[in-house]
Amino acid sequence: MGSVTVKKHPQGLEYVEVDTDLCQARIFMQGAQIDRFQPKGQAPLLWVSSADDYQPGSGIRGGIPVCWPWFGMHENPQWPQHGFARTRLWNLDSVQMQDQVVELKFSLTVSDEDKQYWAHPSRVELIFTLSDSLSVSLVNTNLGNAPFNLTQALHTYFPIEDIHQLKASGFSGARYIEFGEGPFEQEGDEVHFDRETDRVYTQLGDCQLLHTPQGIIEVRRENSRSAVLWNPWIEKSKRLSRFNDQDYLTMVCLEAANVLEDRVELAPGESHTLSTHIRWQPQG
């Protein structure tokens, strides 16, 4: 029998622990951030830095932080990078389990304090579907009388064992901006890593593969024509908070996103769902 239980981390953060015949997972109420997902009999599909100390008020360096309602730096440099959703407490609205498949639905209430950043009447929800694969859906609904737009990302950290052996594929035909320059045309289908990589892709197909020594991670997106591919490499690793100097060797971020010309524009009453679907590809 599967179980879904609410527990408390030694640092005080509450989380939901999932243990079924298909997977084990952990999702924190803060940020509705999943930091563990492991299909039974397979390797983990998410990476977290051992330097993170799970302090309340700080996003976890790993798993899937939610960037909302903007990605990256806001035009107001005093506002939080990647929005405020990843450090706020979300509500666990529902838990369903059928045939060992678990669905968890979280929602975020925009506080009076956060209305300085986001004054648009809206509803934002995060839905996790946990089986032998992981699906995460970020649902935005415009509850107001005026249109608005936003950018967002599901900032997924993947365990890749050795960055020098990693090959990422599925990028043919896309364009990208890197370090504020571009857009550049993607050359070929594959990306290899020998330096800091921080690419914001647009016009991107809906499936990419991470070829790692442990196997191939399949990453699919829905309602997203943009994605972010990131590895901080050597020098930036030394400057990042809650990140070991050598962590760049064992992780990469490939983020389902709606950024740049792919931003979300919502008319009154309209909804939009950004989804990412992650699994180990079957071998053989």
- List, as residue ranges, the binding site for substrate: 61, 81, 86
Q: How far is CA 182 from CA 107, 123, 131, 173, 226, in A?
A: 36, 34, 39, 15, 15
Distance CA 240, CA 81 (A): 14
* 155 given a catalytic annotation: yes
Residue 211 host element (H or E): strand 207-212
Element (H, E) at 108: strand 101-108
Backbone angles phi, psi at 114, to 5 degrees: -80, -10
Q: Scanning the structure block, which residue is given the tokens 């799970």?
A: 54
113 included as an active-site residue: no
For residue 237, give the H/E element and its range: helix 233-239
Residues sharing a CB contact under 8 Å with residue 63, sequence separation 6 or more, in sequence order: 33, 34, 35, 36, 46, 47, 48, 156, 157
Report d(CA 238, CA 241) in Å as an integer. 8
Active-site residue (options: 255, 265, 270, 272)? 255
Answer whether 141's CB lies under 8 Å from 123's CB. yes
Q: Are 136 and 127 in contact (CB under 8 A)?
A: yes
Report d(CA 67, CA 88) in Å as an integer.
12
* Per-residue CA distances from 80 to 76, 109, 117, 136, 245 (Å): 9, 17, 9, 23, 24
- Candidates 82, 125, 155, 277; catalytic one: 155
The dihedral built from the CA positions of residue 162, 167, 170 and 171, taken in this order, carries a sign that is positive
Q: Looking at the annotation, which residues are catalytic?
A: 155, 255
